[in-house]
Amino acid sequence: MRTTQKLAAILLTLLLPSASFSQLVPPPRVEPVGPPLFVVTVKSKDGFMDSDGKIAIEPAFEKAYPFTDGLAAIQQEGQWGFIDTKGRIVIEPQFISVSHFSEGLATFQHKRYSDKQGYINKAGKVVIEPQFDVAEPFRNGVARVGFATLKGRLLGLIADVGVECDFEFIDRTGKIVPEPSPLHYATGEPGELIPFWKNDLAGYLNAKGEVVIEPKFHVGSAFSEGLAIACKDKLLGFIDKRGEWVIPPRFEYASEFSDGLAGVSLGKDGWGFIDRTGKVVITGKFAWVYGGFRHGIAQVTFDCKIAYINMKGEWVWPPSE
């Protein structure tokens, strides 16, 4: 056994790539169509509540994902499909896995296609045949897809280290297109800045492609509500669009600002929320914060259970399974 473990360690050392940073591409921000609904679990079944904490779609699914583009992924008998905001099934459960919809398309895996991923439309029709080892959501008409390398396949035989891929970009027909510049991911907001990487450091470009903030941060998130997460001396803080610290780095973990608040780790006290001045407005007592506030509600983990709070830190949905 020891010999086998030693050989595996040697192979990992030879095959694993050295640490490096790639261009930072902010993920598309997904929002529901219609009244906001939130996933809740009751007696091991998932359903949805409204912003008042009332059940809107009865918990009847093995698992459910949040609504995007008017549809939510749900699992029944181990298969994934989609429902609308009334709880009606619009794409029958038939897939091994799916992603959320983005620009009218979602990734999927089907048992008859082995482990490859493709894309379906909102009618459940396959529009790009499964052929990718990794497939990401569409953003401005383009999606990044990956093809597993030989080295990645060898690694997969000896350790669960994820999939190492050669990446390409495709259009909505599945045709390979040139890699877009960071500006492709701009949303068109006035004064928007787009993160980029150079020499393992993050900086920011404006919508014209001009460098506004020189690369000098070891972490640089996309801006949200005028502030971005940045790193100095292994701690996180928030910078403004001049690259100046608004909230000095003092957090081990942090999430972006939304609804005027950001989730941050507050040491042994757990996660809490700060305002734009860095003042703690919801004390640290949560084990985790999921993506911050949306429509005045945030999903958190408390006592190993999922819950939702309002912006006063009060329970909207008390800790549940």
Number of domains in the chain: 2
Measured between alpha carbons, how far is 149 from 159 in angstroms, rounded to an integer?
15
Residue 307 domain boundaries: 200-320
pLDDT at 187: 75
In a shared domain, residues 52 and 178: yes
Q: Indicate the helix (H) or strand (E) that contains 306.
A: strand 305-309
User: What SS3 class is residue 40?
Assistant: strand
Does the residue 248 lie in any domain?
yes
Does the residue 27 lie in any domain?
yes
In a shared domain, residues 27 and 111: yes
What are the structure tokens assigned to 150, written together? 């030989």
pLDDT at 189: 74
Does the residue 188 lie in any domain?
no
Q: Which residues pair with 219 in a beta bridge?
A: none
In a shared domain, residues 139 and 253: no
In a shared domain, residues 177 and 234: no
In a shared domain, residues 161 and 281: no
Does the residue 192 lie in any domain?
no
Which pTM does this prediction carry? 0.81
pLDDT at 119: 98
In a shared domain, residues 170 and 230: no
Measured between alpha carbons, how far is 246 from 308 in angstroms, rounded to an integer?
28
Q: What angle, 0 to 180 degrees and rounded to 10, lies between the N-to-C axes of helices 2-15 and 150-158? A: 160
User: What SS3 class is residue 95?
Assistant: strand
Please list the ranges in the chain whose pLDDT falls under 50.
Answer: 1-29, 32
In a shared domain, residues 56 and 145: yes
CATH of the domain at 268: 2.130.10.120
In a shared domain, residues 241 and 173: no
**160: Cβ–Cβ under 8 A, 6 or more apart, which residues?**
none
Does the residue 57 lie in any domain?
yes
User: How large is the C-alpha radius of gyration of the chain?
Assistant: 21
